[in-house]
Structure 1
Amino acid sequence: MVTKIEGYTLGKLIQEGKTKQVFDLPEHPGLCLLLSKDRITAQDGLRAHELAGKAEISNKTNGLVFQILNTCGLNTAYVKPCSPTSFVAKKCAMIPIEWVTRRLATGSFLKRNPGVPEGYRFAPPKQETFFKDDANHDPQWSDEQIISAKLTFNGVLIGQDEIDIMRKMSVMVFEVLEKAWATRDCAFIDMKVEFGVDEEGNIVLADIIDSDSWRLWPAGDKRLRVDKDVYRQLTSVSDSDLNTIKKNFAWASEQLEGIIPKNDHLVVILMGSASDTAHCEKIAKVCQSLGLNTELRVTSAHKGPEDSLKIMRDYESVISKLVFITVAGRSNGLGPVLSGSTTYPVINCPPLKPENVQTDVWSSLNLPSGLGCATVMYPEAAALNAAQILGLSNYIIWGKLRSRQIDNLVTLKKADKVVRGVRAVNLD
């Protein structure tokens, strides 16, 4: 019998887990559908209960989490929500490793590391990996064990490069969500994630991330925990207990609604002459790739100082998350004048030319005392500097910067593999 969910025809059952089913979507090559179950489990499946409504809560939570991560630019398998209990994802081969990231020591970590007090803070976050094997209680694995297993998925052998990429990605996921939950006054204690390899051979964050995946302590108080630990710690499970757990999960899902920061910032790129437009457009392009709002203006602190200050005051009066980037060649008065007149960040990015770089750059670098404007040489650097400033109060911008770092790492790893392969052939 053909089954459809919200217009998607379900194909064969690819995989069935304790709390979900994964179906092929034959009419949509490269995609699959993940359907959550009204079921909660613990202790490697030895404890399990039906929990009416959990599937919908889990699917909603998962969708909101991946909305955050996709907005940050992370490479994930999540594509779009489908029904209240399902979503569409890229088809990928799952790597049977759980990546656990911890900020505070608690739970199983204390049992495996006697003498460490509960609440010990890990900085940077502590990373652990576990091989997915319920029969053997998901044993902890080292990098060496993962490499020695020679796990291969969609043509990708999981080696040290792939481990490095997944470790970077899992830490980023944790820290982005930690920053997100901090806006709700919740301490994000630890979490687990899984990765897959898509049909193009890319490592992607996959599976489901919901209240089964993390420990969450409102106000940093373990007694107020609203995660699966409540279920794990019960000696017996009553209907009242299950109802409390469901309410906790629903509360966490509700807290994620509207958690993405408002798009209420602005990078104003001021140029001393319209001839600098091409240089400024390069800055704006990188800014926009990082999710930054930009506006370009033409004004000269030498030829029209009053007008330059008026433009600055106009922006100061309407927006509080503001960064100025000034582009002025020859004698740069624009950046220093603005820096001496505003408390907002000012970044100089002069349009230097080879024939005058050593002369012109000094008007941006050799500033009078009391001025705090920075100077960078390249458009990309100006945009990144602005993003780093705005990212201090906007975890999505911060996450985009982290995603960019991971993309750089992946590019380097791939290039290194090519060079190593060519060298190996030459040596043979």
Structure 2
Amino acid sequence: MAAPKEVGGYKLGKLIIEGKTKQVFDLPEQPGHCLLLNKDRITAGDGVKAHDLEGKAAISNQTNAKVFEILKAAGINTAFVKIASPTAFVSKKCDMIPIEWVTRRLATGSFLKRNPGVPEGFRFTPPKQETFFKDDANHDPQWSEEQIVSANFKINGLTIGQDEVDYMRRATILVFEILEKAWALRDCALIDMKIEFGVDPEGNILLADVIDSDSWRLWPSGDKRLMVDKQVYRNLTTVTAADLDTVKRNFAWVKDQLDHLKPTVHHKVVVFMGSPADQEHCQKIAKAARELGLDVDLRVTSAHKATEETLRIMQQYEDTHGALVFIAVAGRSNGLGPVLSGNTSYPVINCPPPSDKMVQDIWSSLSVPSGLGCATVIYPDSAALMAAQIIGLQDYLVWARLRVKQLHMAAALRQADKKLRNQV
């Protein structure tokens, strides 16, 4: 494939690397970035089987972009930036870690060959994670975590040790679970998938390379006979033009289905404050909630002084939202949370504002009449997190942002511990 000089208005620099299905070019006018150009090429068996497939580059490019947009919306750190042309996209420049990270929900394919006695369809709970060293000459041998750590890879100044392996393992499983939940919206079972990571010049580990229909097994309705992924091509002993058309239609179908993987639930978190004086506290709740992707409204009303108005506002939200959480901010004989809880079937969270009588205010929120189910938290971010956990039961992107937050907190602790260990 001849090297072009310009793609999508981007002037290309040197060819950094060329693989079986893509080329990677430097972007001299975009420091720190590169361009990945897909090929109209499909391969299998380390390139032993290969065919031209007109239109595949554009389908793969769109599929990859849609997948990465989902993952970026969830908060995953990725190298993907944006589509540059119908067949190319811009990425942050990073050096690749030569490991394929594979996650499996069901036992099939090569796993069965390597693990005789395990029946096809055996379900892994939690998902099983495997690693393979990228080495075409030796057919990408499976590696243990100990082998990866012992290899002492130095990528863009970062040594890949146990801390980095632990992060990538957790991130790999999380990426799979996010996309698994997304595909479930279209009654498609994500069976397994592979991803790769790179390290940017600042030493950050990023989800990189490409995720398209070459990257996973996808079975509509969980039925292997309906597979729409690259395995259809792998299974062909002879390849006709009609076979290639079938593969292309499958890939195009997957690309189109990705447009329907956004959460369909219409959610709202409503923060009721008993007094305008509580607005600062409520704004902190709203800020933390919005950072988790929640849609938040702030309202001022008093259950004691304007009971009918409070219930009217509550009922308006009940009539227009499928997933709904009320947060009651009131102290001094909190009636707001209990009144809401006694008149709605949606969850209510008490989060009293700070005051010099905090102990009494908390007790007021905790000691509610029988038959009421208010929860009570003290801190604004705790109220936001609890609301997100409730909404996340129906919205996989909110669920994913919570999981990513946990991943990043754990990684930050590991990095702080690593820095301290290195000082000793």
Distance in 2 (CA, whole Å) between partners of 1:318 and 1:261 is 17
**Structure 1 equivalent of residue 83 of structure 2:** 81
Give how far 1:372 is off: 1.4
Question: Which residue among 171, 174, 185 is the counterpart of 1:172?
Answer: 174
Secondary structure of the residue that 2:86 maps to in structure 1?
Answer: coil
1:117 corresponds to which residue? 119
> How far apart, in 2, do the equivalents of 1:15 and 1:22 lie?
5
Q: 1:125 and 1:105 mapped to 2: Cα distance?
A: 10
Relative distance call for 1:115 and 1:407 in structure 2 (3 A) is same
- The letter for the 2-side match of 1:418 is K
1:400 maps to 401
**Map of 1:285 onto structure 2:** 287
For 1:302 and 1:78, the matched residues in 2 are separated by 52
**How far does the alpha carbon of each residue in 1:113-140 deviate from its partner, in whole angstroms, 9 at most, with x for none?**
1111111111110000000001111111
State the partner residue of 1:358.
359
Partner Cα separation in structure 2 for residue 368 and residue 50 of structure 1: 71
Give the letter aligned to residue 402 of structure 1. R
CA distance in 1, matches of 2:329, 2:69: 35
Q: TM-score, normalised by structure 2?
A: 0.98
- Residue 343 of structure 2: SS of its match in structure 1? coil
DSSP 3-state at the match of 1:234: coil
Whether 1:249 aligns to 2:251 is yes
Tell me the amino acid that sits aligned with residue 388 of structure 2: A
Q: Secondary structure at the match of 1:266?
A: strand
CA displacement 1:366-401 (0-9 Å, x = unmatched): 222211121111110110111111111111111111
CA shift, 1:404, in A, is: 0.9
Quote the residue 1:275 is aligned against.
Answer: 277
Aligned match of 2:146? 144
CA distance in 1, matches of 2:231, 2:411: 35
Render the CA deviation track for 1:335-382: whole Å, top value 9, x for unaligned: 0110010011111111143x4233221111122221112111111011
Contact 1:218–1:225 (Cα < 8 Å) also in 2? yes
How far apart, in 1, do the equivalents of 2:223 and 2:311 lie? Answer: 49
Structure 1 segment 56-75 matched on structure 2, within 5 A:
56-75=58-77
- Give 1:263 deviation, angstroms: 7.2
Structure 1: gaps spanning 5 or more residues: none
Aligned length: 422
Task: Provide the residue aligned with 2:18 in structure 1.
Answer: 16
Separation in 2 of the partners of 1:318 and 1:358? Answer: 36
Is the partner of 1:180 in helix, strand or coil?
helix
How far, CA to CA, are the matches of 1:363 and 1:417 in structure 2? 44
TM-superposed deviation, 1:265: 1.5
Partner Cα distance (1:253, 1:319) in 2: 30
Aligned counterparts of 1:406 and 1:198: Cα–Cα separation in 2: 19
Equivalent pair of 1:352/1:361 in contact (CA under 8 Å): no
**Alpha carbons 1:20, 1:37 under 8 Å: kept:** yes
Conservation of the 8 A alpha-carbon contact between 1:350 and 1:377: yes
Q: Spell out, residue by residue over 1:172-207, the C-alpha distance to the aligned partner (whole angstroms, 9 max, x if none).
A: 110111011100000110000000001111000000
- Residues 212-267 of structure 1 deviation map (CA, whole Å, 9 limit, x = unaligned): 00000001100000011111111111111111111111111110013212472111
In structure 2, the residue matched to 1:376 is: 377
Is contact 1:5-1:83 (8 Å) kept?
yes
Q: How far 1:318 sits from its partner (Å)?
A: 2.1
Amino acid across the alignment from 2:382: A
Residues 1:105 and 2:107 are matched in the alignment = yes
SS at match of 2:250: helix
Q: What secondary structure sits across from 1:167 in the alignment?
A: helix
Equivalent runs, 1:133-212 vs 2, <5 Å: 133-212=135-214
Gap regions ≥5 residues in structure 2:
none
Amino acid at match of 1:361: I
In structure 1, C-alpha distance between the alignment counterparts of 2:131 and 2:369, rounded to whole Å? 53
| Greater mean alpha carbon deviation, residues 310-319 or residues 21-30 | 310-319
Partner Cα separation in structure 1 for residue 223 and residue 138 of structure 2: 32
> Percent identity, aligned pairs only?
66
Paired position in structure 1 for 2:240: 238
Contact 1:2/1:9 (8 A) holds in 2: no
Alignment of 1:318-337 (within 5 A): 318-337=320-339
| Larger displacement relative to structure 2 (256-265 or 69-78) | 256-265
User: 1:38-79 CA distances to partner (integer Å, 9 max, x unpaired)?
Assistant: 111111111111111110100010010001001111100000
2:97: which partner in 1? Answer: 95
Cα distance between partner residues in 2 of 1:117 and 1:132: 27
Offset at residue 2 of structure 1 (A): 7.2
Question: Per-residue displacement from partner, 1:114-170 (whole Å, max 9, x unpaired)?
Answer: 111111111110000000001111111111100110001111000011011111111
Q: Distance in 2 between matches of 1:259 and 1:105?
A: 25
Q: Shift of the alpha carbon at 1:209?
A: 0.2
Counterpart selection for 2:317 from 304, 315, 318? 315
Which has the higher mean CA deviation after the structures are superposed, 366-375 or 140-149? 366-375
Q: Distance in 1 between matches of 2:283 and 2:422?
A: 39
Cα distance in 1 for partners of 2:268, 2:4 equals 51
1:408 partner amino acid: M
The Cα of 1:320 is off from its aligned counterpart by 2.3
Q: Structure 2: which amino acid aligns with 1:358? A: V
Please state how far the C-alpha of 1:412 moved relative to its aligned partner: 1.0
Structure 1 residue ranges, 4+ long, deviating more than 6 angstroms after superposition = none
